């Protein structure tokens, strides 16, 4: 409908002008007070604080800088794995919420390594949730050791570690090395993601093995079922694996919701890589860097002996960023022997206690340094690491000791034999992992033609007892 228009009256025009002038006056006063006033009082004498534009800007900048300096914020910005909502996730949220001391300890350990892991994850374009994975693998404990002989923050078993280039010898176990194991773990996870096409299936395969996940997918395809993570019949530990990571993710994102307090971690490197002399005592490194021996060990957990040595021409150690310059300055001015250890060629049948007395070292320490479990006589000739008598030592033949694979007490009558009844969903590789052996050995012992097994089947496992160690 068309409406007739009427010209505005003089009274209306005057009202509009008055309103405009009043608004302009109020705007001017508002700007004046917002940019100039700090405090005033209202008619009741209550002080009113005005935040100026300048102050507001400074506060915003301060909050922004604080947020950017917090590594947790950076991690949250890189989340890319779909949220897993399940009762299992809730169960693990409750588990961590009820153990604040455990969470605090885990976060304290993570503080040394997390920045490096996040950096490497982001370089590969991976979801930053991956940087939280060591929390469910090892609670970020580099000394973590499982019953399946997995070690380090990423929990590599010997065979998988070897496959990904993590050397394990008498001197060092690089499955514990923070840098090397992180690179290997990310290589493995990238490979698994390429195989399965989703991160939850890649994580499942990291936990249970790619064969287990592949077989579960094939079984569902054959039965016309979905092949996503939630639909697969997987081992109980693997069913809980992704929800457990989700619980950690939820807790570090909103700790207050679970009654927890998580300390901010600086968004900057904690450690730096340094090339040390070819052979140097761990104690000397710690002293020159002016850090504790414990701090050095936490950054360099792969070294198993009191002397830092490698059979390669060069090797690396990690030191706190704040200690690198001091280490280099002190090393240049250090004129004493860098190592006080030598190699002793022990003969078959030689009494270990006598060797300890000869080199003025406690029997307990000699056994520990050389990974010996028998404190009586040596069953065969071998090389032993001992203190240098005069305090100065010649260069040690690193390769000579690195290849040492003596088995202590490895007599046939001490071999342990157990039987295991296969449960539904179990695979031969899972059983092998549980008992610290491999699929090929189990097939040979049980005369199996293939690795296929069924529920109710009983298999035999032969292994060395716990006290028998290979060094």
Tell me the sheet residues that pair with 351.
377
- CATH code linked to domain 412-463: 3.10.350.10
- Integer-rounded Cα Rg, in Å, for the chain is 32
Query: What's the CA gap between 186 and 180, in Å, rounded?
Result: 10
Task: Check residue 414 and report its DSSP letter.
Answer: G
The architecture (CATH level 2) of 341-390 comes to Roll (3.10)
Tell me which residues are annotated as active site: 137
Asked whether this chain's domains 341-390 and 412-463 adopt the same fold, the reply is: yes
Which residues share a beta bridge with 346?
382
Show me where the domains of the chain are located.
20-67, 83-258, 271-332, 341-390, 412-463
How far is C-alpha 389 from the chain's CA centre?
40
- The structure tokens listed for 326 are 């001091």
Give me the pLDDT at residue 435, please.
Answer: 81
Residues 62/67/69/75 CA torsion (nearest 10 deg): -170
Grouping H, G, I as helix, E, B as strand and the rest as coil, residue 50 is coil
Q: Which two tokens stand for residue 178?
A: 């923070």
Distances (CA, A) of 160 to 133, 169, 174, 263: 17, 15, 12, 34
b/e burial code for range 211-238 (CB count within 10 A of at least 16 → b): ebbebbbeebeeeeeebebeebebbeeb
Query: How many residues in total does the chain contain?
Result: 471
Q: What is the pLDDT of residue 452?
A: 85
Torsion of CA 299, 304, 306, 311, to 10 degrees: -100
Q: Cα angle at 68 between 263 and 112, to 5 degrees?
A: 45
Which sign does the torsion angle of CA 249, 253, 255, 257 carry? Answer: negative
265: left (phi over 0), alpha (psi -120 to 50) or beta: beta
**Strand, coil or helix: what is 466?**
coil
- Tokens at 388, concatenated: 């240098």
pLDDT of residue 467: 36
Other Cβ atoms less than 10 A from the Cβ of 454: the count is: 8
Contact call for residues 227 and 200 (beta carbons, < 8 A): no
Q: Are 400 and 366 in contact (CB under 8 A)?
A: no
- The CATH class of the 83-258 domain is mainly alpha
Structure token pair of residue 84: 């897993």
Cα dihedral sign, 130-136-142-145: negative
Predicted confidence pLDDT, tens digits, the chain (471 residues): 444 434 444 444 444 445 445 554 544 444 444 444 444 444 333 343 344 444 445 544 444 455 668 999 999 999 999 999 999 999 999 999 999 999 999 999 999 999 999 999 999 999 999 999 999 999 999 999 999 999 999 999 999 999 999 999 888 999 999 999 999 999 999 999 999 999 999 999 999 999 999 999 999 999 999 999 999 999 999 999 999 999 999 999 999 999 999 999 999 999 999 999 988 999 999 999 999 999 999 999 999 999 998 766 678 999 999 999 999 999 999 999 999 888 888 888 888 899 999 999 999 999 988 888 766 788 777 888 888 876 555 556 666 566 564 333 333 334 556 778 888 888 888 888 888 788 888 888 887 878 888 888 888 887 544 433 332
270 with 109: CB under 8 angstroms? no
Paired with 151 in beta bridges are 145, 156
User: Alpha-carbon dihedral of residues 134, 138, 144, 146, nearest 10 degrees?
Assistant: -120
Q: Which long-range contacts (CB under 8 A, 24 or more apart) does 327-336 make?
A: 327/274, 327/285, 327/288, 327/289, 327/290, 328/274, 330/287, 330/288, 330/289, 330/290, 331/277, 331/288, 334/284, 334/288
Report CA-CA distances (Å) from 142 to 136, 348, 412.
13, 35, 34
What pLDDT score does 420 carry? 85
pLDDT at residue number 175:
98
Q: Which two tokens stand for residue 111?
A: 């503080």
Cα gap 112→300, rounded to integer Å:
11
């Amino acid at each position: 409908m068309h409406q007739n228009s009427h010209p505005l009256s003089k009274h209306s025009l005057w009202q509009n002008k008055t309103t405009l002038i009043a608004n302009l006056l109020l705007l001017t006063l508002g700007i004046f007070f917002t940019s100039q006033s700090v405090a005033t009082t209202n008619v009741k004498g209550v002080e009113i604080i005005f935040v100026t534009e300048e102050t507001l800007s400074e506060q915003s900048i301060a909050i922004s800088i604080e947020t950017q300096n917090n590594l947790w914020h950076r991690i949250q910005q890189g989340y890319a794995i779909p949220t897993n909502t399940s009762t299992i996730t809730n169960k693990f949220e409750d588990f961590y919420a009820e153990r604040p001391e455990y969470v605090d300890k885990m976060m304290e350990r993570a503080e040394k390594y997390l920045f490096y892991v996040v950096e490497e994850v982001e370089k590969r374009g991976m979801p930053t949730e991956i940087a939280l994975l060591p929390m469910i693998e090892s609670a970020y404990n580099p000394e973590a050791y499982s019953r399946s002989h997995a070690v380090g923050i990423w929990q590599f078993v010997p065979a998988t570690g070897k496959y990904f280039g993590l050397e394990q010898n008498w001197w060092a176990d690089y499955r514990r090395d923070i840098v090397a194991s992180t690179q290997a773990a990310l290589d493995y996870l990238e490979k698994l993601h390429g195989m399965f096409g989703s991160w939850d299936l890649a994580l499942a395969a990291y936990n249970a093995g790619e064969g287990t996940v592949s077989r579960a997918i094939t079984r569902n395809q054959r039965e016309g079922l979905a092949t996503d993570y939630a639909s697969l019949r997987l081992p109980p530990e693997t069913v809980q694996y992704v929800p457990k990571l989700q619980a950690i993710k939820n807790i570090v994102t909103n700790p207050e919701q679970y009654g927890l307090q998580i300390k901010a971690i600086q968004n900057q490197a904690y450690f730096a890589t340094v090339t040390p002399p070819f052979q140097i005592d761990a104690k000397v490194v710690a002293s020159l860097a002016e850090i504790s021996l414990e701090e050095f060990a936490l950054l360099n957990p792969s070294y198993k002996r009191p002397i830092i040595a490698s059979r390669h021409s060069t090797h690396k150690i990690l030191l706190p960023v704040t200690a690198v310059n001091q280490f280099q300055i002190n090393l240049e001015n250090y004129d004493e022997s860098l190592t006080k250890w030598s190699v002793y060629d022990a003969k078959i049948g030689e009494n270990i206690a006598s060797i300890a007395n000869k080199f003025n070292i406690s029997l307990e320490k000699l056994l520990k340094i050389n990974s010996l479990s028998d404190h009586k006589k040596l069953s065969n000739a071998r090389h032993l690491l001992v203190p240098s008598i005069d305090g100065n030592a010649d260069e040690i033949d690193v390769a000579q000791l690195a290849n040492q694979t003596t088995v202590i007490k490895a007599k046939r009558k001490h071999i342990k034999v157990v039987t295991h009844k296969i449960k539904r969903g179990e695979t031969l590789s899972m059983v092998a992992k549980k008992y610290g052996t491999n699929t090929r050995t189990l097939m040979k012992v049980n005369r199996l033609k293939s690795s296929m097994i069924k529920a109710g089947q009983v298999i035999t496992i032969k292994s060395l007892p716990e006290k028998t160690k290979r060094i």
